[in-house]
Amino acid sequence: MDNISHTEENYLKAIFKIAEKEEGRPVNTNAISTEMKTTAASVTDMLNRLSKKELIHYEKYKGVTLTIKGGRTATRLVRKHRLWEVFLVEKLHFSWDEVHDMAEELEHIQSEELVERLYDYLGRPKFDPHGDPIPDAEGNFTFRKQAPLADLHLGEKGIVVGVQDHSAAFLQYLDRLQLSLGAQVTVIERFDYDESMKITLNGDKEHIVSKKVSQNLFVEKQ
């Protein structure tokens, strides 16, 4: 069969990512050009190519959706990306804010056998170092009933399970606050003025976290 270039793979991943938020609605050209940091003209060009390869359903001016084949390719990339991130953090001891770019390259390594061996080697993880679910070999995601920390009411407890914002700046800031995955947080005060909140960390240290932080941090309510 015709093989898929790195660039085509990246477009599929971008479309998949946008489609996640858009819940099935067709993804439009501009959204893709923003995600891919390229021009709309380049996107149109690529959409024609992807369509010819039956990786997307595409109608002029009407946006795109992934075909089964395109969706499978995208979830495989996500699986590979997240498994490599686990490898980099668990085995090579990189921190969670350093691994994204390396995983962007590693996800394009072809061999399916390699990925599955890596998966076993890593102990069949369900989540990556940022708390994002790792799809299984068939492309199925494990979902969690998570909510932004901002949604917790006074007195409620939660376990930190993920982030909305994946930027290195945010991740490093969380490290400074010791707000890493698995930490237990309890809301002990809420300030309406700037929507910040006071929390305790693992029933111990107290912190004030801004609205921005509490909105970008996912917890599982206890």
Residues found near DNA in the complex (CB under 7 A) = 5-8, 28-31, 38-49, 58, 60-63
Residue 34 neighbours by CB distance under 10 Å:
13
Q: Which two tokens stand for residue 194?
A: 């700037």
> What Å distances lie between residue 97 and 19, 82, 103, 106, 107, CA to CA?
25, 13, 12, 16, 17
In the complex, minimum distance from the CB of residue 59 to its own copies, in angstroms, rounded to a whole number = 35
* Residue 15 to residue 204: CA distance in whole angstroms: 43
Contact between 121 and its own copies by CB under 8 A: the answer reads yes
In the complex, minimum distance from the CB of residue 70 to DNA, in angstroms, rounded to a whole number = 14
Helix (H, G, I), strand (E, B) or coil at 116: helix
State the amino acid at position 160 in one-letter form.
V
Contact between 106 and its own copies by CB under 8 A: the answer reads yes
Contact between 137 and its own copies by CB under 8 A: the answer reads no
| Contact string 8-47 vs its own copies (x = CB under 8 A) | ----------------------------------------
In the complex, minimum distance from the CB of residue 124 to DNA, in angstroms, rounded to a whole number = 33
Give the nearer residue to DNA in terms of CB position, either 59 or 175: 59
Residue keyed to tokens 């979830």: 75
* Residue 86 to residue 123: CA distance in whole angstroms: 10
Decide if 27 contacts 65 (C-beta within 8 A). yes
Q: Which two tokens stand for residue 123?
A: 């102990």
Using CB distances below 5 to 8 A depending on partner kind, what does residue 52 bind out of DNA, its own copies, none?
A: none
Give the nearer residue to its own copies in terms of CB position, either 103 or 199: 103
Residues that bind its own copies (CB under 8 A): 88, 91-94, 101-102, 105-106, 108-111, 114, 117-118, 121
